[in-house]
Structure 1
Amino acid sequence: MSQIITPDDFDFRAYMVETEPQVRVVPAETWRATLIDHVRSGERITGATLPWSKTHDHIRFRPGEVTLWQGINGHGKSELLGQVTLGFGAQGERSCTASFEMKPQNTLKRWLRQTAMNDTPSEKAVHNMFDWSRGKLWLYDQVGSVKPEMVYAVMRYCAEKLKIQHMIIDSLMKCVRGEDDHNGQKDFVDMLCSLSKDLGLHVHLVHHAKKKESEDVKPGKFDAKGSGAIVDQVDQLLTVWRNKKKERQIVMAQRIEDDAARKAKLQELDEMPDSLLICDKNRNGEWEGQIGLWRHAPSLQFTGDNRRMPLDLIGWNA
């Protein structure tokens, strides 16, 4: 079963204590084995992948890095990241989700639909998900604001005791005092970057994008709320954008009285993605761009094309 970690069940005080500063001056040959491995493998792309095969040559998630997931409220960034987390589990990688905006039960309900691939999961689907999740998924149970010191402690505990590889923090604004606390935001993200490197974690930090003149305008790298230093510090910036203009056009097209014209317009619109995953920063990779995704509403999954076939994330058909 997915293990739920709460402040009441675990004593995190030992993990809040800062260790003595480590000596960072080391011989160059410390990296001999790393460089030999690089020579042998060349520029082979490494790291955990997203669930959609068309992304595998473009975006990866490596130990010691931080990815900022940004989006406008209601555009599906947490839902998409939940599916991504299940995808990490399918690759045998361990993750802990610390959602300070949603109770673990609600996260689990979303995961249940995503793993069952429908909106009416059976009891068997519940057992299958929990059996599969053992050793793959953990949840940190604390809703509301949280002190950076606690996030630091939970990350250390997860990495050192549970061997977690992916830490999902949803969201940044629950970990600092407010949108105008730019120094607090900078210090918190700096802590995440340093700790991810020390622990070999990949940190996924959810953040809200500024509201532009219209939700039809895609947010960019300068649209993260708060301090501009946030984007400067992280390794990757991924934006989730929902195509609400398409949704409005579908409603209008459904009102067309002529059957042939209505079907033609709806087919034309169906070719357009429901959402975009946009990469505006990729420090350790060369690719930047956008990828179209289509949403399968019953399963709450995002799919790679307009057939909207949900992915078997936990091996139902294995």
Structure 2
Amino acid sequence: MTLIITPDNTDFSAYMAETEPSVKVLPVESWENALVAAVNQPEHITGARLPWSKTHDKIRFRPGEVTLWQGINGHGKSQILGQAILGFTAQGQKSCIASFEMRPVSTLKRMLRQVSMNDQPGEAAARQMMSWLTGKAWIYDQLGRAEPRTLAAVIRYCAERLKIDHFVIDSLMRCVAGEDDYNGQKDFVELLCRLAQDCNIHIHLVHHARKRENEDQKPGKFDAKGSGAIVDQVDQMLTIWRNKKKEKDVDKALRVPGGSISEDLEKTPDCLLICDKNRHGEWEGTVALWYHAPSLQYTPDSRRLPLNFMRDRGYDA
């Protein structure tokens, strides 16, 4: 079954120390083969893919980088990130989720609906998913506040012992003193960037955006709560924006006896995935998504066909 990592069942003491400087100071010729390979091979996009094929030449998740997943509270950022993790699993990659706001069983119940593609999965579906996740997914069981030094040890342990590719932190504000602790935020994100590089993994950091007076306005990279250094330091920034106006319009249309949804409204996206920063790629822009409520999945078009993660390679190809 999926391993639940806790301080009680795991000794992190060997992973509390910083990397020795001597390990990082290397002669320039150490990179000779890598440089020659880069010169001889044409540029091509690499890294783990999101579940939707229309994003594959735009956004990727590479070792040694940090992605900030931003969104207004209640707009589905953790839910979409969980779906992305299932896509990474289908691509043969390993992940650990550290959610300081949800219990492990709650996290797994949401993943079960996404994997089973319906809202009432049974015991057989649960056991099938757990078998599929064995050796590929872990959860760090810690609710409430998380100490940066302890979390750094957990990340080092997961990278060295479990050979994970992706580490999810949900969320930033559970790891610092508060929204006005700008120095703590800067130091923590700097620590994550260093850990991603030292451990050669991808770290996904969930963060809240400021809630505007009107939720119909899409947040951007200047709307992240707290220090501006958060966005400055990460490699990628993805904003999740849920189309609350469409939800109200749909509800209004269906409340009328015999009411129906217009074709234009149906084709309007339920959610936008906005890339505001892509340090190692040229593309920045917006990806339209549609929500399939029974499976808690976001899909690539208005047909709302959920993805079968255990059958496919983690995307709608």
Q: Normalising by structure 1, report the TM-score.
A: 0.95
Residue 214 (structure 1) shift: 1.0
Q: Aligned letter for 2:181?
A: D
Shift of 1:166: 0.2
The residue correspondences of 1:191-202 to structure 2 (distance < 5 A) are: 191-202=191-202
Distance in 1 between residues matched to 2:287 and 2:8, nearest whole Å: 42
1:24 deviates by 4.6
Contact 1:254 1:266 in 2 (8 A): no
- List gaps (5 residues or longer) in structure 1: none
Matched residue SS, 2:276: strand
For the pair 1:297 / 2:293, whether they are aligned, the reply is yes
**Aligned twin of 1:207:** 207
* Aligned equivalent of 1:95: 95
Residue 51 of structure 2 is matched in structure 1 by 51
Stretch moving more, 192-201 or 21-30: 21-30
> Deviations along 1:178-216, whole A, 9 cap, x unmatched?
010000000000000011001001000000001112111
Distance 1:28 1:153 in 2: 29
Deviations 1:120-171 (A, max 9, x none): 1122211110111011110000010010011100000000000011000000
Residues 61-210 of structure 1: pairs in structure 2 closer than 5 A? 61-210=61-210
Cα contact 1:240–1:277 (8 A) shared by 2: yes
Displacement of 1:42 after TM fit? 1.2
Counterpart of 1:30 in 2: which secondary structure?
A: helix
C-alpha contact (below 8 Å) 1:169/1:203 kept by paired residues? yes
Name the SS for the 1:231 alignment partner. Answer: helix
Q: How many residues align?
A: 313
Shift of 1:25: 4.5
Q: Aligned-pair distance for 1:74?
A: 0.3
State how far apart, in whole Å, the 2-side matches of 1:306 and 1:238 are.
Answer: 22
**CA root-mean-square deviation:** 1.5
Q: Displacement, 1:256?
A: 5.1
Q: Secondary structure at the match of 2:163?
A: coil
Aligned to 2:159, the other structure's residue is in SS state: helix
Secondary structure at the aligned position of 1:36 is classed as: helix
Look up the equivalent residue of 2:273 and give its one-letter code: L
Quick check: 1:283 aligned with 2:263?
no
Contact 1:235 1:283 in 2 (8 A): yes
Secondary structure of 2:290's partner? Answer: strand
User: Is the CA contact 2:69–2:207 (under 8 Å) kept in the aligned structure 1?
Assistant: yes
Structure 2 residue matching 1:222: 3-state secondary structure: helix
- Equivalent residue number for residue 270 of structure 1: 266
Per-residue deviation, 1:248 = 1.0
What is the percentage of aligned positions where both structures have the same residue? 64
8 Å contact kept, 2:240–2:271? yes
Q: Secondary structure at the match of 1:22?
A: helix
Which letter maps to 1:140? Y
The equivalent residue for 2:226 is 226
Q: Find the aligned partners of 2:297 and 2:311 in 1 and give their Cα distance.
A: 15
Gaps of 5+ in 2: none
Equivalent residues of 1:63, 1:196 under 8 A apart: yes
State the shift of 1:14 in Å: 1.7
User: TM-score w.r.t. structure 2 length?
Assistant: 0.95
* Displacement after TM superposition at 1:304 (Å): 0.4
Q: Which moved more, 1:129-138 or 1:15-24?
A: 15-24
How far is the alpha carbon of 1:32 from its aligned partner?
1.6
* Structure-2 residue corresponding to 1:308: 304
